[in-house]
Structure 1
Amino acid sequence: MTTFPTERAVRTTPEGLLWEPGARWVRGRRGEVTVVDSRRPVLVWEPDVPVPLYAFPREDVREDLLRPAKNPATGTHTGSRIFYDLEVGGEVEENAAWTFPAPDLAGHIAFEWFGRVGRGPDHWYEEEEEIFIHPRDPHKRVDALASSRRVRVEIDGTLVADTVRPVLLFETSLPTRFYIPREDIRVDLLFPTGHHTGCPYKGTAEYWSWRDGAAVPPNIAWSYPDPLAAVGPIRGFLAFYNEAVDITVDGEIQARPVTPFSRALSERT
């Protein structure tokens, strides 16, 4: 009989890295060239970095495309001293790959993700699904649930949204986000900014800013016009940063949470 672990199979290295074997078939491409093709990826979490990355057995990597880095980016990854430049089609991506010093990860090569830092393979796939920005954390959930709670949003004392048909998005380690139908929002008080961000769990977001008041951070609201299937119910709805607006749920004012976004929002005002 096959048995499975009931707890996270995470290992710790002396350098403070966390890692565990992955079960997904992962490929990374630069343009049309496959740089890595592995059914034995390893997920690695670096200290104080909230998202994981992948490291791969050397035999699953096109090492003929790697060159010893001309300007090694020492200090950018935990304990790493060996970096590689990636050369594909005559174009060189500096410090696109590296090795970790941990004995547990000997024989593995990690890669940057172009969508996150602007270098490295620019297309990544888990099985046949393209993924973006960084690997999905297998210990993180993102659930989008339709609700009948009454949600009101105020910005600088002005009522901007009032709905009884929100979609609540629950994402591990982040506050609940309240996605609201546009029909229930004073969209005339907002304007699109052209700003976009990517999320491996939700897709590509577009943003809106507040028309009145310099004290309100720009890009205060966002929407996913074409979300990934797992969070399909948020399609086209708008959400606001709980950290910078006043949200009331069923008559109860919500405290403004402190999150990794709080500092960036305060610096925008």
Structure 2
Amino acid sequence: MGAQPENVIWEPSERWVRGTKGDVTVVDSRRPILVWEPGRPVPLYAFPEQDVRTDLLRKAARPPTGRHAGSTVFYDLEIDGEVTGNAAWSYPGDELAGYISFEWFGRDVLDHWYEEEAEIFVHPRDPHKRVDAIPSSRHVQVEINGTVVADTRAPVLLFETQLPTRYYIPREDIRFGLLTPTGLRTQCPYKGTATEYWSWAGPGDAAANVAWSYPDPLPAVREIKGLIAFYNEAVDIILDGERLERPVSPFSELFS
């Protein structure tokens, strides 16, 4: 592991990583590195220049400032006349000289990313992070505005490093008459695609999209398939008769 100026941390990865846009493979690397920038909770990939279609990159016409640990060299991506501004960048300093990283989280610069033959979403999976879905017999109740919307003794507890425990509840233990579907769809690199979300439909005001489900989760968390979880940050969880404090997490800003 090495250190860059401004506390950038990196380590090599042995995963085969590819990124594509349309029919074009822009990145194809068997020697990527994972980079952690200060203030970012998730890693990014960076790739040796030789593993990137640098012929598709141009010095950015309008490079941003103050992004990606002081990088001053940004690149636009041009494929078949279509230009994606500030799609990639290189880091300052000697240790990461010759590496290029691509925007990913929150921007669809490339259409698909793969580790080996598995497609990955949102951001690279952190090798120092665990996600464990464990069936339990604990008594879990969920209240919204003082009304019980879920009550189960057969939850699956999902433990994810640096995030609150999530309580996934069987559908038969949910009062769906108090919820309304919203059609929101999100992706997670560890759990897959959540294609079902619900908002509160009972008395009083409550935050939108407070509950979700993964109908077809990734194999590592198959125990949560079809179960319903609620944002602890926006509802009240009673665990074995004890009312839990609402946690503060990166998701809290969704409900502020």
TM-score by length of 2: 0.96
1:124 is paired with a residue whose SS is strand
Matched, 1:21 2:29: no
Letter in 2 for 1:201: Y
Equivalent residue, structure 2, for 1:128: 117
Listed as ranges, the matches of 1:151-170 within 5 Å are 151-170=140-159
Aligned pair in 2 of structure 1 residues 79, 214: CA closer, same or farther (>3 Å)?
Answer: farther
Counterpart contact for 1:207–1:221, Cα < 8 Å: yes
TM-score by length of 1: 0.92
Once residues 9 and 60 of structure 2 are traced to their aligned partners in structure 1, the CA distance between those partners, rounded to angstroms, is 25
Once residues 32 and 124 of structure 2 are traced to their aligned partners in structure 1, the CA distance between those partners, rounded to angstroms, is 11
Once residues 43 and 249 of structure 1 are traced to their aligned partners in structure 2, the CA distance between those partners, rounded to angstroms, is 37
Matched, 1:249 2:220: no
1:91 to 82, 105, 108: 82
Counterpart contact for 1:93–1:119, Cα < 8 Å: no
Residues 151-185 of structure 1 show CA distances to partners (whole Å, capped at 9, x for unaligned) of: 11111010111111111000000111000011100
Equivalent residue, structure 2, for 1:81: 72
1:117 is paired with a residue whose SS is coil
Deviation at residue 29 of structure 1 after TM alignment: 0.6
Letter in 1 for 2:113: W
Deviation at residue 95 of structure 1 after TM alignment: 0.5
Matched, 1:176 2:161: no
The unaligned stretches of length 5 or more in structure 2 are: none
Deviation at residue 86 of structure 1 after TM alignment: 0.7
Letter in 2 for 1:69: A
Counterpart contact for 1:43–1:55, Cα < 8 Å: yes
User: Identity of counterpart residues, as a percentage?
Assistant: 67
Matched, 1:226 2:239: no
Residues 191-250 of structure 1 show CA distances to partners (whole Å, capped at 9, x for unaligned) of: 111111111001111310001355311101111111111111111111011112111111
1:105 is paired with a residue whose SS is coil
The unaligned stretches of length 5 or more in structure 1 are: 1-9
1:95 is paired with a residue whose SS is strand
Equivalent residue, structure 1, for 2:135: 146
Once residues 40 and 204 of structure 2 are traced to their aligned partners in structure 1, the CA distance between those partners, rounded to angstroms, is 32
Counterpart contact for 2:145–2:204, Cα < 8 Å: no
Matched, 1:258 2:245: no
Letter in 1 for 2:210: I
Between 68-77 and 24-33, report the one with greater CA deviation: 68-77
Pairwise CA RMSD: 1.1
Aligned pair in 2 of structure 1 residues 107, 214: CA closer, same or farther (>3 Å)?
Answer: farther
Matched, 1:198 2:198: no
